[in-house]
Amino acid sequence: MEDAYARSVTEVLDFFGVDPKRGLTDAQVTQHARLYGKNVLPEEKRASFWKLVLKQFDDLLVKILIVAALVSFVLALINGDTGLTAFLEPSVILMILAANAAVGVITETNAEKALEELRAYQADIATVLRNGCFSILPATELVPGDIVEVAVGCKIPADMRMIEMLSNQLRVDQAILTGESCSVEKELESTTATNVVYQDKTNILFSGTVVVAGRARAIVVGVGTHTAMGGIHDSMLRTEDEVTPLKKKLDEFGTFLAKVIAGICVLVWIVNIGHFRDPAHGGLLRGAIHYFKIAVALAVAAIPEGLPAVVTTCLALGTKRMARLNAIVRSLPSVETLGCTTVICSDKTGTLTTNMMSASKVCVLHTVQHAPVISEYSVSGTTYAPEGTIFDSTGLQLELPAQSPCLLHIAMCSALCNESILQYNPDKGNYEKIGESTEVALRVLAEKIGLPGFDSMPSSLNMLSKHERASYCNHYWEDHFKKISVADFTRDRKMMSVLCSRNQLQIMFSKGAPESIISRCTNILCNDDGSTIPLTASIQAELESRFHSFAGKETLRCLALAFKRMPMGLQSLSHNDENDLTFIGLVGMLDPPREEVRNAMLSCMTAGIRVIVVTGDNKTTAESLCRKIGAFDHLADLAGHSYTATEFEELPALQKTLALQRMALFTRVEPSHKRMLVEALRHQNEVVAMTGDGVNDAPALKKADIGIAMGSGTAVAKSASDMVLADDNFATIVAAVAEGRAIYNNTKQFIRYMISSNIGEVVCIFVAAVLGIPDTLAPVQLLWVNLVTDGLPATAIGFNKQDSDVMKAKPRKVNEAVVSGWLFFRYLVIGAYVGLATVAGFIWWFLYFDSGPKLPYSELMNFDSCSTRETTYPCSIFDDRHPSTVSMTVLVVVEMFNALNNLSENQSLLVIPPWSNLWLVGSIILTMILHVLILYVHPLSVLFSVTPLSWSEWTVVLYLSFPVIIIDEVLKFFSRSSTGIRWFSFRWRRPDSLPKKELHEK
């Protein structure tokens, strides 16, 4: 029944055909179970293990590598190779791909737990009326129409419509669903409002929320997926994981690279058609196969096999650094996504605020000697911890607050006229509440005021254990006063009273809404001497003025406290006793903002990131908070920047678009609105981070580009998020964004390094094929260079330090290419030099090396016909391993120098020297040690078809390798001057003019 909130109690009972005194019959239960289903959330259909494994290979470059591995194996068998030679190259490729797949499967298996943990918010049992009898049943057996009784501490088992109040009031904490900082009072009357949100359904008890005060009966109107919690479950099921900006760009680049590779491979094969019949190949077919093998080697050279592993490693390094900043990353790609975040949609309660109601102001009458003087005290401390101090209006700290008569009586009243519990949880290491948050705030205030008569009071309290300290002062007053009777809070009185006795003295303490308490007071307590004087009209007017200031301008939730001496022997309270009270003081409470949030807001604005505060609270309260944290500092007027969910939905389409571009505050929202907001912003090509901690935030967290949950939040929110803030600190997001930007910059650097190196390998093979000289590098040598020499330095580049101005730049655009036109030109120039230097080393050994054959160039070009001609040298010279070893070593060393080029995209090595990244220096040294090992250790040299080099050969290797640094320094100079790259930017610019809705396709 979807509109139960708008129907009367009688209408709802008639709809389900139930007698409120007897409940459903067994026959009705069976019928309703068949009609409406079970009260359980269905399990998500998970992809099978093998589907997850196959998904990891759904990448174009990976598929090309698999084909290359298989072709390499088949060709080895055709050539008659057996044993290690035939299996080495394909085995290494497949091992790398298997390792990458394993990482992907583990990540995806661990990621999707939110839907399972959502079930933890379903109640286990319920007190149900059936066949005229109450019984306790599993909550899963509830059906619509069941009559359920709830009381303090009960978790609501299903969505239910209130039908009978069994106490003066019923209050429910529904923050996990709506984000409201205070508990909500429920009532029996139907709702007449239109466009209602959860907060307006004041007669509905929502599944998963908790009763904090009172007792009532209600009828079940929604079970399972038809509850508010079920709606969140369905919303999360409909939300598919989004591809991150970096992954999207890497996929695009991979597709582009694959096309280029395919074209070059075909071109190399076609260029050599004339050589198919060369005698050295032993026939046309064998010649075709030989050059096909070269084309496959070219594909292996061009594809950066280590790129996925290095990207993953770099992101993992970033997550370790972020963990030290209290940002725990659950999804590796989200680290990079942070770097291009343009909008942060921040939940208010628990994210910008502490979600702990705290007394912040106290107002009392100081004296009336010359004229009424009202004193205001401010209270520090924003959590439930009994840690804080009290300051007077001049900002001076009170050493012994309990010596002030009014503050002493406020402490007594707060401790005695209270039904909540404050306790310390050693497992979580924090203080927790049981009961109303406003009552707990009064308990904490009593602890901060302390006890009278002890000069060493503050230090004495600090010596207690945290468990004892939680309610030491409250217990003191409860031990000294005996509670006799309690008059519970009612909606008509708007107050609560408790009758206490102490030393032949009976006192009634009262607390409640200021307008109710003040109107019942005839006297007032003075703070200067503890005397009681009549409450005059002028004093009352001054108190009401302060109350309106607290509640209006400062949006504090106010309670007034009073007391009255009662006749001895009284055993119960009547409502008539609550007159002729003595006013003690006014306490203003709020859910306080976190102290570090204001600076975090400023940092976000400096970095070009817009913050939208999203909350279920009312507009006035939220606007007051936003002013305190600086969210409105850049706005002269709130018009067009602050909307309730209803106001936003009523806007025409065009105005909605404009509102989204200017919005800074979104209030009175429910889960569907949060998800809608994320979708609308992403439709405008924004990269959205959503913060939150409640169950209500989970669908939006999952839908956002990056979901950021609070460490103290619900398990559902954490599991639906990409990142968890261990310290619940909004400021941590700023540090995480800076880290995300730095990681992206480093990612670009090592992609540039790996691709330019691979271009060099392609150029090497292509030039050798075009010139008709012998193969410069064997496939297994190419694989060695790609894996070991590329992988270690590329990973170390991930340790490059942040640029000093990383948070002063605007967020990069989501459609910005990883490789721009000018950058690709630099790839080509560096790659071309790497390839030509490698070929030059090979030719040098044959033509110019003193210990080499010193062949004429024409003989080198006609090597394949050597066996059919008379020569002055043996044909076996072309099988010598020295020239390919020189080429391979040139390739390794030139790539090490190229790694140093990538300490910064544009800064010179003179500005950012190699020792600024000792990890990179170490990786280069380790790579060279590994390379020397395969040259000089016999079994390895045979495996990789290499041989030891002489000092003269090493000298030439260094001469050919070092110029890559000079070339890149020249290119960096042009990059810094910026004018040199305009032509390339224009020539290489690609029209990323897709409709905005397509930019975020799944």
Q: Inform me whether the pLDDT recorded for 190 exceeds 50.
A: yes
Residue 878: predicted pLDDT: 79
- Length of the chain as a residue count: 1002
Give the residue-averaged pLDDT of 643-669: 90
Assess whether 268 and 253 both reside in one domain.
yes
Domain end marker among 204, 238, 272: 238
Which of the listed ranges 268-277, 576-585, 750-759, 766-775 does the model predict with the highest average pLDDT? 576-585
* Res. 302: pLDDT tops 60: yes
Question: Sign of the CA dihedral 270, 276, 277, 278?
Answer: positive
Count CA within 13 A, CB hemisphere, residue 90. Answer: 19
Average pLDDT over residues 198-211: 86
Biggest distance spanned by C-alpha atoms of the chain? 132
Does 862 map to a domain?
yes
pLDDT score, position 478: 93
> Is residue 161 situated within a structural domain?
yes
pLDDT at 784: 75
Query: Are 711 and 750 within one domain?
Result: no
Both 435 and 551 in a single domain?
yes
Q: What is the CATH number of the domain that holds 672?
A: 3.40.50.1000
Distance of alpha carbon 29 from alpha carbon 636, whole angstroms: 60
The structure tokens 């694959």 sit at 258
How far is Cα 307 from Cα 618, in angstroms, rounded to an integer? Answer: 50
Residues 782 and 876 in one domain: yes
Is a pLDDT exceeding 70 seen at residue 162?
Answer: yes
- Choice between 280 and 699, residue whose per-residue pLDDT is larger: 699
| pLDDT at site 361 | 94
Residue 251: pLDDT over 50? yes
Cα distance between residue 221 and residue 143, in whole Å: 8
Q: CA–CA separation, 590 vs 597, rounded Å? A: 16
Q: How many CB atoms lie within 10 A of CB 731?
A: 21
Query: What confidence score (pLDDT) does residue 675 get?
Result: 84
287 shares a domain with 332: no
Taking only the tens place, the pLDDT of each residue in 459-496 is: 777 788 888 889 999 999 999 999 999 998 887 888 99
CA distance 703 to 691: 12
Closest by CA to 754, choosing from 797, 724, 722, is: 797
364 beta partners: 375
Alpha helices in 698-820, H assignment, sequence order: 698-703, 715-720, 730-771, 779-784, 790-797
The backbone torsions φ and ψ at residue 182, rounded to the nearest 5 degrees and listed phi first, read -115, 155
Residue labelled with tokens 């330090």: 801
Question: CA separation (Å) from 185 to 494, 517, 577, 630, 669?
Answer: 12, 20, 25, 31, 18
pLDDT band at 119 (very low <50, low <70, confident <90, very high): very low
Q: Is the pLDDT of residue 343 over 80?
A: yes
Whether the pLDDT of residue 306 is over 90: the answer is: no
Question: How crowded is the C-beta side of 89, counted as CA atoms within 13 Å?
Answer: 32
Same domain, 689 and 797: no
Residue type, 216: A
Within-domain flag for 52: no
- CA 118, CA 716: separation in Å to the nearest integer? 6
pLDDT band at 99 (very low <50, low <70, confident <90, very high): low
Domain encompassing residue 34? 9-41+126-238
Residue 825 is part of a domain; what is its CATH number? 1.20.1110.10
Q: What percent of the chain has pLDDT over 90?
A: 26
User: Do the beta carbons of residue 402 and residue 408 sit within 8 Å?
Assistant: yes
User: Amino acid letter at 177?
Assistant: L
Task: Count CB atoms within 10 A of the CB of residue 285.
Answer: 11
What share of the chain has pLDDT > 70, as a percent? 81
Residue 585 has pLDDT above 90, yes or no: yes
Nearest to 882 by CA among 808, 945, 819: 945
Asked if the model's pLDDT at residue 824 lies above 70, the reply is yes
- 891 domain residue, yes or no: yes
Confidence band (pLDDT; 50, 70, 90) for 379?
Answer: very high
Q: Tell me the average pLDDT across 638-651.
A: 88
pLDDT at residue 325, as a whole number: 77
Q: Is the pLDDT of residue 804 over 60?
A: yes
| 133 contacts: CB under 8 Å, gap ≥ 6 | none
β-partners of residue 583 are 524, 562
Instruction: Indicate if 368 and 509 belong to the same structural domain.
Output: yes
pLDDT, residue 375, reads 92
Could you please report the per-residue DSSP string of 352-420? IB-SS-EEEEEEEEEE-SSS-EEEEEEE---SSSS---EE-TTSPBPS-GGGSHHHHHHHHHHHHS---
Q: How confident is the model at residue 313 (pLDDT cuts 50, 70, 90)?
A: low
Beta carbons within 8 Å of 420's beta carbon, 6+ residues apart: 433, 434, 435, 436, 439, 440, 443
Q: Which tokens hold the place of 924?
A: 């280069």
The reply to whether 618 falls in a domain is yes
Q: What is the pLDDT of residue 15?
A: 92
pLDDT band at 713 (very low <50, low <70, confident <90, very high): low
pLDDT score of 62 more than 80: no
Q: Are residues 656 and 679 in the same domain?
A: yes
Q: How many domains does the chain have?
A: 4
Q: What is the chain's mean pLDDT, rounded?
A: 80
Q: Are residues 516 and 371 in the same domain?
A: yes
CB atoms within 10 A of CB 98: 12
- Distances from the Cα of 848 to the Cα of 727, 844, 893, angstroms: 66, 5, 21
Number of H helices, E strands in the chain: 37, 29
Nearest of 446, 294, 326, 435 to residue 379 by alpha carbon:
446
The CATH number covering residue 537 comes to: 3.40.1110.10
Range with lowest mean pLDDT among 603-617, 629-643, 791-805: 791-805
Q: Is the pTM of this model over 0.85?
A: no
Residue 848: the pLDDT is 86
Tell whether 332 is covered by a domain.
yes
| Strand, helix or coil for residue 680 | helix
pLDDT tens string 905-938: 777 888 888 888 888 899 999 989 989 998 998 8
Look at residue 788 and tell me whether its pLDDT is greater than 70. no
Query: Do 676 and 527 lie in a common domain?
Result: no
How crowded is residue 456: how many other Cβ atoms within 10 Å of its Cβ?
A: 8
Q: What is the mean pLDDT of residues 356-372?
A: 86
CB 765 within 8 A of CB 301: yes
The answer to whether the CB of 694 falls within 8 A of the CB of 177 is yes
β 159-165/215-222 pair status? antiparallel
The torsion angles phi and psi of 205, rounded to 5 degrees, stand at: -100, 120
Task: Write down which residue in 706, 728, 750 finishes a domain.
Answer: 728
| Residue bearing the bigger pLDDT, 82 or 284 | 284
Of 509-513, 691-695, 875-879, which gets the smallest average pLDDT?
Answer: 691-695
The reply to whether 585 and 536 lie within a common domain is: yes
Q: Which residues pair with 523 in a beta bridge?
A: 534, 582
Please check the confidence at residue 115 and state whether its pLDDT lies above 50. Answer: no
Q: Which of 13-22, 215-224, 540-549, 710-719 has the lowest mean pLDDT?
A: 710-719
In a domain, 411, yes or no: yes
Is 332:323 a contact under the CB 8 Å cutoff? Answer: no
Q: For residue 367, which phi and psi values (nearest 5 degrees)? A: -160, 165
Judgement on whether residues 333 and 409 belong to the same structural domain of the protein: no
How large is the average pLDDT for residues 602-611? Answer: 86
Instruction: Compare 566 and 328 and report the one with higher pLDDT.
Output: 566
| Within a domain: 378 | yes
Task: Give the C-alpha distances (Å, rounded to integers) separating 802 from 45, 138, 739.
Answer: 42, 56, 8
347 as an active site residue: the answer is yes
Looking at residue 584, what is its pLDDT? Answer: 96
Split at pLDDT 50, 70, 90, the class of 269 is: confident
The arrangement of strands across the sheet holding 210-213 comes to 184-186, 170-173, 210-213
Banded pLDDT at 89 (limits 50, 70, 90): low
Q: Kindly tell me if the per-residue pLDDT of 672 is higher than 60.
A: yes
Instruction: Look at residues 675, 701, 728 and tell me which one is the last residue of a structural domain.
Output: 728
Q: Is 177 helix (H, G, I), strand (E, B) or coil?
A: helix
Looking at residues 264-290, what average pLDDT do you find?
73
- State which H helix or E strand residue 542 sits in: helix 537-548
Tell me, what's the pLDDT at 994? 30
Q: What is the pLDDT of residue 195?
A: 73
The 10s digit of each residue's pLDDT in 826-847 is 878 988 999 999 999 999 988 8
Q: Which of 59, 347, 577, 968 is catalytic?
A: 347
Instruction: Name the amino acid, one letter, at 629.
Output: I
Confidence tier at 612 by pLDDT (50, 70, 90): very high
Confidence of residue 521 (pLDDT cuts 50, 70, 90): very high
Q: For 292-309, what is the mean pLDDT?
A: 66
Q: What span, in angstroms and rounded, lies between the C-alpha atoms of 452 and 460?
A: 12
